[in-house]
Amino acid sequence: MTIAIEEDPQAWREDLRLRLEGLVDLFVVAGIQQEDVFAAILEDVDGLRSALIRDPDPADDDTAKTTIDEPSNDWPAAEGR
């Protein structure tokens, strides 16, 4: 799944529209109301926008600060298990 934007800088918009149509159709065929699919897409886009505002480049985050270590088994009740 690649998008050749070098050939046509606006081609990605057409590709996006076609993929959105396919996504909507997928759920409508499965029995979901079209308006519900549209509402869910808009909610998710708002969520993505909010996430971008909170953290514009999550790839720059230092994962060492957020890594949670395994719990220690150095407590008395852990012995013998």
For 6-53, the pLDDT digits (tens) are 677 788 888 899 999 999 999 999 999 999 999 999 999 999 888 888
Whole-angstrom CA distances from 15 to 8, 9, 49 are 11, 11, 21
Compute the average pLDDT of residues 54-69.
66
pTM of the predicted model as reported, rounded to 2 decimal places: 0.58
Going by C-alpha positions, the residue among 64, 48, 65 that lies closest to residue 56 is 48
**5 CB-near residues (< 8 Å, 6+ apart):** 11, 12
Domain locations in the chain as residue ranges = 10-55
> How many C-beta atoms lie closer than 10 Å to residue 41's C-beta?
14
- Which pair of structure tokens corresponds to residue 77? 């009740």
